[in-house]
Amino acid sequence: MEHICLDLEGVLVPEIWAEVAKHTGEDKFKLTTQDLKDYSELMDMRMELVRSLNINMKDINDIVDSMEPFEGAREFLDWVRDNFQLTIVSDSFYELTWPLIRKLGTPSINCHYLDIQDGELKGYKLRQNNNKQKVVQALKEMKFTVFASGDSYNDIQMLNEADYGVFFQAPEHIKDEFPNIDVVNSHTELKELFISKSQFVERGE
């Protein structure tokens, strides 16, 4: 049985912190794991901005509540879950992503935790270091064949660890840096690629 691991932001939904940038006017929120290789450096910067701008968790939740998944993402996930095992593997946070996860039909997600006290965002807690890679390793140890897709620096270990990993709409500088990883530009292309790489038997209605 094949198991598919998908990144969340950039593959299924827009970048949450980029949306925060639009609402706050703070351009540094636009930086993502497509720009910085060190995830802790990125999150520490975001936490400092949250503190300096006096942004509380309700402000962020209101922004996320207003967001929508990419067009066709829900339908793509429905197809994946009809025909494969699926886990969303994200470096985002349960408390942040849940409104979007519900809009995607509540797929299984493995991600991190925010430290929230009295409605204030105090920090974050990583599930484990190199979480994406370790999720794929665990699935392979359970004898799954693992396919994976993501768009950023923090996906590289997951894509390389998977039996087959592919970029989804990755920026040019990342594609140029990792030319060994294939690239798709739509959910339709990703679906066709998963079919071609699998022992596929249509199980949906």
Q: Which residues are catalytic?
A: 7, 9
First to last CA, the chain: 19
Distance of CA 163 to the CA centre of its chain: 19
Alpha-carbon gap, residue 109 to 89, rounded angstroms: 6
- Do the beta carbons of residue 189 and residue 68 sit within 8 Å? no
- Which parts of the chain fold into alpha helices (H)? 16-24, 39-52, 57-65, 73-83, 94-103, 131-141, 156-161, 172-177, 187-197
For residue 13, the 8-state DSSP code is B
**Phi-psi map region of 59: left, alpha, beta (phi>0 left; psi -120 to 50 alpha):** alpha
Alpha-carbon gap, residue 124 to 122, rounded angstroms: 7
